[in-house]
Amino acid sequence: MAIAPPYRIALNGYGRIGRCVLRALYERGGSAGLSVVALNDLADMASVEYLTRFDSTHGRFPGEVSVSDGCLHIDGDCVQVLRQATPEGVDWRALGIDLVLECSGAYHSRSDAQRFIDAGAPRVLFSQPMASEADIDATIVYGVNQSSLSGSEKLVSNASCTTNCGVPLLKLLHESVGLEYVSITTIHSAMNDQPVLDAYHHEDLRRTRSAFNSVIPVSTGLARGIERLLPELTGRIQAKAVRVPTLNVSCLDITLQTSRDTNAQEINRVLREAAESGPLKGLLAYTELPHASCDFNHDPHSAIVDGSQTRVSGPRLVNLLAWFDNEWGFANRMLDVAEHFLRVAEPNTRKD
């Protein structure tokens, strides 16, 4: 199960996304051509081993996991485990890595991001949208704009799980029926930035509330995130989000005003055909089966359109439902973007 390591990557932050990235790499059997050589988190070795082996959401790790000599051993591979709170605390150059996958979510500005480069990391892929476009060299939604990478970028964002779900659908529909206005509600599973029981949160009063007792409206940057990828829709998108008491899997409830008359059959045909062939095959899926969210746990797609829920009111008001595994789908896109990023990276910036 171990993969050949043409590209050496490190994970900074080994929480939900960091662990899913590592596991997805092994479950893909090396197809990504990436090798995790180090991970950095604040956690101790015993916890790193335990939470790699056992996962309440995705089940047991499907390979051999142990720790010794400062390494997390996975199927015989050594992933060096570091415990540094700052990018400067890690000697990225000595690790000989090609790319850091930043999965702590603790860095949002260009000056924050640059700290990794100054500390010797050749390039960084972030697991969240940065504060503004000026804070990053490129924001990539795989399947939509990865070919825009020139190879000279050092700091790239993998956008958000919701952007990865919504952008491919909106692009397809804008190119087919045209979009005048878009309104999106994200219905998102609980995350580790919410408490189990009521507790203080320094930014958001609603995030003080127990994750498992309420449907909780939270702020979202989804509209601005989509506009970064689809600037032709700037000023025409609004979004809101609620967290719901499930462990994983989320959906977008998308309302669209189209530029011309359409119907549910046409909308579903456009989305189904894109799922079946073309550049979004394997990233977008289509179903009309009577699913519930847990059916999509561990699903690697960025979006699964539920055609049974498509509604058209009058000739131009469309409502859609698209599922996504907010952890597993996104972790798989981190690997896709990482591999593409490294494949096109300028050779003279590659560490050998």
Ligand X SMILES: NC(=O)c1ccc[n+]([C@@H]2O[C@H](COP(=O)([O-])OP(=O)(O)OC[C@H]3O[C@@H](n4cnc5c(N)ncnc54)[C@H](OP(=O)(O)O)[C@@H]3O)[C@@H](O)[C@H]2O)c1
* Residue 192 binding ligand X, by CB under 6 A: yes
3-state secondary structure of 133: helix
Q: What are phi and psi of 302, to 5 degrees?
A: -75, -30
Q: Does 104 bind ligand X (CB under 6 A)?
A: yes
Residue 327 binding ligand X, by CB under 6 A: yes
Burial readout 162-198 (b: 16 or more C-beta within 10 A, e: otherwise): bbbbbbbbbbbbbebbebeebbbbbbbbbbeebbeee
Residue 196 touching ligand X (CB under 6 A) = no
Residue 88 · residue 119 · CB < 8 Å = yes
Q: Of residues 161, 165, 275, 283, which one binds ligand X by CB under 6 A?
A: 161
Q: How far is the CB of 111 from ligand X (least distance, A)?
A: 15
Q: Which of 3, 9, 10, 17 binds ligand X (CB under 6 A)?
A: 17
CB of 11 to ligand X, least distance (A): 9
Min dist CB 78 to ligand X, Å, is 19
- The reply to whether 308 sits near ligand X by the rule CB under 6 A is no
Residue 106 is a binding residue for ligand X (CB under 6 A): yes
- Among 161, 165, 251, 294, the active-site one is 161
For ligand X, the closer CB: 323 or 330: 330
The nearer residue to ligand X, 105 or 245, going by C-beta atoms, is 105
Based on the shown chain and the rule CB under 6 A, indicate whether residue 220 belongs to the binding site for ligand X. no
**Binders of ligand X among 36-95, rule CB under 6 A?**
40-43, 85
Does 157 help bind ligand X (rule: CB under 6 A)? no
| Residue found by looking up tokens 């662990």 in the block | 19
The whole-angstrom distance between residue 262's C-alpha and the CA centroid of its chain comes to 31
**Catalytic site includes residue 161:** yes
Contacts of 269 (CB under 8 A, 6+ apart): none
Q: Which is nearer to ligand X, 310 or 330 (CB)?
A: 330
Could you give the 3-state DSSP secondary structure of residue 200? coil
Residue closer to ligand X (CB basis): 104 or 332: 104
Structural contact between residues 113 and 124, judged by C-beta atoms closer than 8 angstroms: yes
Please state the φ and ψ torsions of residue 182, each to the nearest 5 degrees: -135, 135
Least distance between ligand X and beta carbon 42 (Å): 4
Is 216 labelled a binding residue?
A: no
Q: Encoding tokens for residue 285?
A: 């899926």
Per CB under 6 A, contacts with ligand X among 118-137 are 127-128
CA-wise closest residue to 340 among 151, 154, 155, 159: 151
Interface residue with ligand X among 63, 105, 120, 279 (CB under 6 A) is 105
Those residues whose C-beta lies under 8 Å from the C-beta of residue 192, and which sit 6 or more positions away, are 15, 16
**Burial of 98: CB neighbours in 10 Å, binned 0-12, 13-18, 19+:** buried
Which residues belong to the active site?
161
Give me the residues that bind ligand X (CB under 6 A), please.
12-18, 40-43, 85, 103-106, 127-128, 160-161, 191-192, 326-327, 330
